[in-house]
Amino acid sequence: MPSYRLHLPIGALRAGSSPADVLEQAALALGSLHAVERKDVEAPLVAGRRVGRVVLRFGVDRSSRAEEDESARRALAAVARHLEETVCEVAPASAVVLSRGAGGRFRPIPPSRPGPEHSPTPAARTAPVLG
């Protein structure tokens, strides 16, 4: 089962929400699609300032690499959409990352071009991939 990691920055929180709530909601949304292997909240430096982010590791059912990557991209979009609707903004978009594990290392995968079958959030669709 291929393993992926998504990093979603925590922007403005909704009233009454905490980073722990963001983590819980992100894991809930992702868990409805794939097996969540690990979850955490981090605060790395991004463009010279600390940005809180949710980090989720998850497995995707084995198929072709292109289908696996696309399934992971759809999961990223679904989680981002859920967070935006429930607990927080997903911002800045430049800090959104999706990576695939291989040989013990995770490497960023490029975003797909949106087409009629895709409806990712603007943050998930336009975010550059950071390494």
- Neighbouring-strand partners of residue 96: none
Report the C-alpha gap between 52 and 118 in whole angstroms: 27
Q: What is the pLDDT of residue 95?
A: 85
Q: Give the count of beta carbons closer than 10 Å to the beta carbon of residue 42.
A: 14
Question: Could you give the 3-state DSSP secondary structure of residue 31?
Answer: helix
Nearest Cα to 96, choosing from 114, 118, 70, 122?
122
Nearest Cα to 106, choosing from 5, 36, 8?
5
Quote the distance between the C-alpha of residue 69 and its chain's center: 13
Report the C-alpha gap between 69 and 75 in whole angstroms: 10
Q: What is the pLDDT of residue 127?
A: 40
Q: What is the pLDDT of residue 113?
A: 56
Read off the pTM: 0.81
pLDDT (tens, 9 = 90+) of the chain, 131 residues, equals: 899 999 999 999 999 999 999 999 999 999 999 999 999 999 888 778 888 999 999 999 999 999 999 999 999 999 999 999 999 999 988 889 999 998 889 999 988 755 544 444 444 443 433 33
